Amino acid sequence: MALLSFLFITSCTEPRHYQHNKPFIFKSDVTLHSDLKKNARQQLREGLMNQMDDSLKVRTVLAVRIRPPFFYYRLSAPPVFDSSYIGRSKTFMTALLHSQGYFQPVITDTFRIDTIRKGRAGGQQRVYLKFLVTPGKSLKMDSVGYDLKTPELQLLALENREKSLLKKNAPYSIPDISKELDRLLNLYRDNGFYKLSKEDLYAEHDTVVAALIDPNLDPFEQLELLDSLQKRKKEPTITIVIKQRAPKDSTHLMKYSWGNINVYPDKTILADSTAAATDTAKIDGYTLYHTTNKFKLPFIARNIFAKPGTLYRQSDYFNTINKFTNLGAWQQVDVNVNERNDSSKKLDANVLLYPAKKQSMNVDFEASRNETDVLTTGSLLGIALNFGIRNKNAFRESIATSSNARFGVELGPNIIQTLQASLSHSIFVPRFITPFKIKSEKNVTAPRTIINLNTSYTDRRKFYSTRSINASWGYDWSKHNHSWQYVPFNFEYTWTPVKTDSFITLEEGFPSLKQAFNDGLIIGQILGYTTGKSIGNTQSFFRAKLEESGALFGLIKNLERGELRRFVKLDLEYKYFINYPRATWAFRAYGGYGYVYGKTGDTTSEYNLPFFKAYFAGGPYTMRAWQVRRLGPGSSTVFDRAKKPIDRFGDMKLEGNIEYRFDIGTIAGIKVKSALFTDIGNIWGKTYDADMKPLDSTEFNLSRLYTDLGVGAGTSLRFDFDFFMIRLDWAYKIKNPEYAKENDGWFRGIKLNSGQFQLGIGVPF
C-alpha cells in the first residue's frame, strides 16, 4: 500500500513560475506552546494560521503528470518574500489572542532561506518561516451581571438568566460576549421592543483586567497592572456586566404591536400588464388580496404567526417566512414591516408570496454496479429508467404529491439476470391530520402527514420472483435539532409466487433461508428519532428507530397463525466527526436487534426476521472488506461449504467504523479526496442445518464476541462533484471470523491482490 501511495501521490511540493534569484515562501507554519486540550489547541492554531498575511501563506494545487509520482503538489507563481509582512501577521495574531482572553502573548518568528540551483536561469531561494506562539494564561469569567436602566429590560434579562451564553469560570471571549448581546436583543425584540438595536447594549469589563487586553495600552503600564493583578490572584478573572447606553431615540424603548396584516398569496415577480382584477377577503383579521384561486384562503391565514392587535414578536416575523418557505408551494417569500406615522406604535405588515411552478416531471437514467446477486455470485451491471411527476400544490393547500415509476434490469452471465419494476405514490400534507387537535403543532417545525403507497415486482431469473405491496400513514416533525417520525400504521405484504428447483434445493439445505423467504405480512408501527449538534470543530449525530409488527393485529388468531410476522426491531446509530481544514476524523457505532416471537400454523415458532427486514454485512456501505451480504452469521462456516454462495441474513448486527478522511487536491475542477478506514462488526441469527440442528456459531454469545467479530481495513479514492461523490474503496480482511480456529482469523491469506474492491456513491456514513 505504501508503494502504491508513493507511485500515485507524493507530499513533495514543486515550485513553478517563481522569480529567479528572489526569495519566496516555500513553507510556513505556526507552533503553539500551550497546555490546551488537543482539539482546542488545534482550533487556536488554525485561527493563528489564518491571521498570517496572504503573501506568507503557501498555496499549492494538486497536479498530474505522466511519470511517477503521477500526482504531486505544485506551488505556482509564489510572490516575492517581504519580511515586513511578518510584523503585520504578528499584530493580527496578537489581536486574535486578545479577543479570546489571552493576555501577554509572546510571538516570535524565525526564517531561513535555502538556495537550490536549477539550471542556467538561476536558483530557487526557498523561505522557511515559522512562528512560535505562547498564548499565556487565559482570562476566566468570574461573574456575569445585568445592570439595565429600563426596568422591563432588566426584568427580562434576569428571568432568562439561565439561558445566558456567558458562564462563570468559562474562558473570556469577545465573540461569546457578542453572541450574548445578540441573545438579549432577540429576547427584547420578542417582547415588543421592535426598534431596540445592539448599539443600545454593551458589556462593561472589570477595569483592571480589561486593561490587560487593551491593544492600545503601553506595555510597561500593562506589566504594572499584571503585577498588581497577580498579587491579588494567581488565576486572573474578569467581571462582565451587561449595561444599557442612553438611547439616541426614545422610540427604541417603546413597545410595538401588530397592526394591519395584508397578504398577497399569488404575487408575480415580473409585472403583468394584463393582470386580472384583485379580489379582497377578510379572514381572522387578515386582509387577503388575490387574483387567482390557486390557494384556499383559510389555509393561508392559519399559517401566519403574527396576529393583528397582538404584541410584536420578532419570532412571528421569522416563523411566518420559514413556514411558507418550507411549505414548498412558493418560490419566494417576503414580509415587509412598516411603522405607522402616528403615535399608535403599530406595525403594519405585507406578506408577499410568489408561487412556484405547480407541477414538474423528471426522467432519469440510472446505472449501477453490484458485486453480487442475492443468491448467486457475479458481476452485475444494473440499468434503470425512472419516471417521476411531482405536484407542489395539490388541493390548493400546498399538499405535495409524488408519483414515481421505475423499470430496471441487472445484466450478468445470462444477459438479463434480474427484472425489476416498481410504482409508488406519496402524499405530503403540511400539517397533522389526526382525530383530535394537537395544541403544540405550532411549536414544532415543518409538521407533516405522510401517506405512502407502493408496489414492486422482482424477477430473479432461475431462482425466484417476488411481489410486494406497501401502504403507510405517518407523521414527521422537528423541533430545534430534534427530528421525529411516527408511523402508526404500516402495512407490507411480500410473497414469492415462483421458486425454481435450484432455489428450493438451497432452502432444503438451509431451513432458516426457507423461513426468511416465506410469504410475509407486516402490520405494525414505526417510531424514529434523530438529533445532532455541533460544538467547535466537532459534530455528532444520533439516530434511533423502533419498528414492530403484529403487537396488536397478532391478537387476531387467524392472522397470527397465518402469514403475519411478529417481531420488534430496534436500530441505534451514533456518528461523531472531528473536522479540520483539510481532513476529518469520522467515527460510527451501530447496533441493531430484532426479536421474533410469532408462529406459523399452530405450533411452528418463527425464529428469523423476513429477508426484507433482516440485517446483513458486507458491501460498499458496511464491512467493506467483504462482498455484499457475505459476512457472518457469527463465525460459522456452513454457508462457505455450500455448493453455491448464499447471501447471509441475521437478526442482530453490531458494527463500528473509523475513517480518516483527507483532501488531496483539485483536478479539472473535481475535488479529489482519500481516506483510510477500519470496519469492525458482524451479524448473528438462529440458523439450522438440514437436520434442523441449531448451529451455535451463528448465534450471538458475549463470550464469543471477540471470536465472531470481523475486521477490515483499507483505503479509498473519492471524486467529489459537490452534488454527488464517486467512491472507490479497496479493503483487506484483517480478521476473518470464517477462520476463527486459525489464530482467531487474524491476517489469514492476505496478499497484495486479495483485497475487495467496492464502488460506492457518497460517503459510507
Per the listing, cell 428571568 goes with: 159
pLDDT of residue 11: 55
**Is the pLDDT reported for residue 379 higher than 60?**
no
pLDDT of residue 283: 95
Do 317 and 306 meet the contact criterion of CB atoms below 8 Å apart? Answer: yes
Cis-peptide, bond into residue 430, ω within 30° of zero: no
pLDDT of residue 225: 62
Q: In what order do the strands lie in the sheet with 286-290?
A: 279-283, 286-290, 257-264, 346-355, 330-339
* Range with the poorest average pLDDT among 196-205, 325-334, 416-425, 435-444: 435-444
pLDDT of residue 37: 84
pLDDT of residue 381: 44
- Please give the mean pLDDT across all residues of the chain: 85
pLDDT band at 213 (very low <50, low <70, confident <90, very high): low
User: Yes or no: is domain 2-134 CATH 3.10.20.310?
Assistant: yes
pLDDT band at 211 (very low <50, low <70, confident <90, very high): low
For the residues 33-43, what does the mean pLDDT come to? Answer: 84
Do 621 and 590 meet the contact criterion of CB atoms below 8 Å apart? Answer: no
pLDDT of residue 224: 65
- Provide the percentage of residues in the chain whose pLDDT is more than 70: 85
pLDDT band at 374 (very low <50, low <70, confident <90, very high): very low
How far apart (Å, rounded) are the C-alpha atoms in residues 350 and 262? 5
How far apart (Å, rounded) are the C-alpha atoms in residues 137 and 101? 8
Q: How far is CA 679 from CA 35, 429, 746, in A?
A: 33, 40, 14
pLDDT of residue 375: 34
pLDDT band at 187 (very low <50, low <70, confident <90, very high): very high
pLDDT of residue 6: 42
Task: Name the more confident of 668 and 291.
Answer: 291
**Is the pLDDT reported for residue 380 higher than 50?**
no
**Is the pLDDT reported for residue 629 higher than 90?**
no
**Is the pLDDT reported for residue 215 higher than 90?**
no
| Cell numbers at 448, concatenated | 407533516
pLDDT of residue 77: 81
**Is the pLDDT reported for residue 655 higher than 70?**
yes
pLDDT of residue 7: 41
Do 678 and 712 meet the contact criterion of CB atoms below 8 Å apart? Answer: yes
For the residues 371-389, what does the mean pLDDT come to? Answer: 56
**Is the pLDDT reported for residue 424 higher than 80?**
yes
* Range with the poorest average pLDDT among 267-271, 361-365, 410-414, 421-425: 410-414
Question: Which residues on neighbouring strands pair with residue 571, listed in sequence order?
Answer: 545, 592
At 585-599, the pLDDT tens digits run 999 999 999 999 887
At 549-558, the pLDDT tens digits run 998 888 887 7
User: Yes or no: is domain 525-765 CATH 2.40.160.50?
Assistant: yes
Torsions phi, psi for 344 (to 5 deg):
-80, -15
For the residues 624-631, what does the mean pLDDT come to? Answer: 87
Q: Same CATH topology for 2-134 and 258-355?
A: yes
Cis-peptide, bond into residue 633, ω within 30° of zero: yes
Q: pTM, whole model, 2 decimals?
A: 0.76
pLDDT of residue 192: 96
pLDDT of residue 382: 55
Task: Name the more confident of 121 and 48.
Answer: 48
Task: Name the more confident of 546 and 59.
Answer: 546
At 253-289, the pLDDT tens digits run 999 999 999 999 999 987 665 566 789 999 999 999 9
Task: Name the more confident of 132 and 754.
Answer: 132
| Cell numbers at 13, concatenated | 511540493
Q: In what order do the strands lie in the sheet with 23-32?
A: 23-32, 123-134, 106-117
Q: Would the CA dihedral through 356, 360, 366, 370 be positive or negative?
A: positive
For the residues 229-235, what does the mean pLDDT come to? Answer: 59
Closest to 573 measured CA to CA, from 560, 557, 589, 551: 589
Domain spanning 258-355: which CATH class is it, in words? alpha beta
**Is the pLDDT reported for residue 8 higher than 70?**
no
How far apart (Å, rounded) are the C-alpha atoms in residues 643 and 379? 18
Closest to 328 measured CA to CA, from 285, 360, 306: 360
pLDDT band at 648 (very low <50, low <70, confident <90, very high): confident
At 294-347, the pLDDT tens digits run 999 999 999 999 999 999 999 999 999 999 999 999 999 999 999 998 888 999
Taking the domains of the chain in order of start, what are their residue ranges? 2-134, 140-253, 258-355, 360-499, 525-765
For the residues 160-183, what does the mean pLDDT come to? Answer: 91
* Range with the poorest average pLDDT among 201-210, 226-235, 303-312, 359-368: 226-235
Per the listing, cell 513533495 goes with: 12
At 688-720, the pLDDT tens digits run 765 667 776 788 989 999 999 999 999 999 999
Q: What is the distance of C-alpha 357 from the center of its chain?
A: 29
pLDDT band at 640 (very low <50, low <70, confident <90, very high): low
- The 10 Å Cβ neighbour count of residue 259 is 18
Task: Name the more confident of 167 and 264.
Answer: 264
**260-274 exposure pattern, b = at least 16 Cβ within 10 A, e = fewer:** bbebbbbbeeeeeee
Show the beta-strand stretches assigned E in 668-724: 670-684, 710-720
For the residues 57-69, what does the mean pLDDT come to? Answer: 67
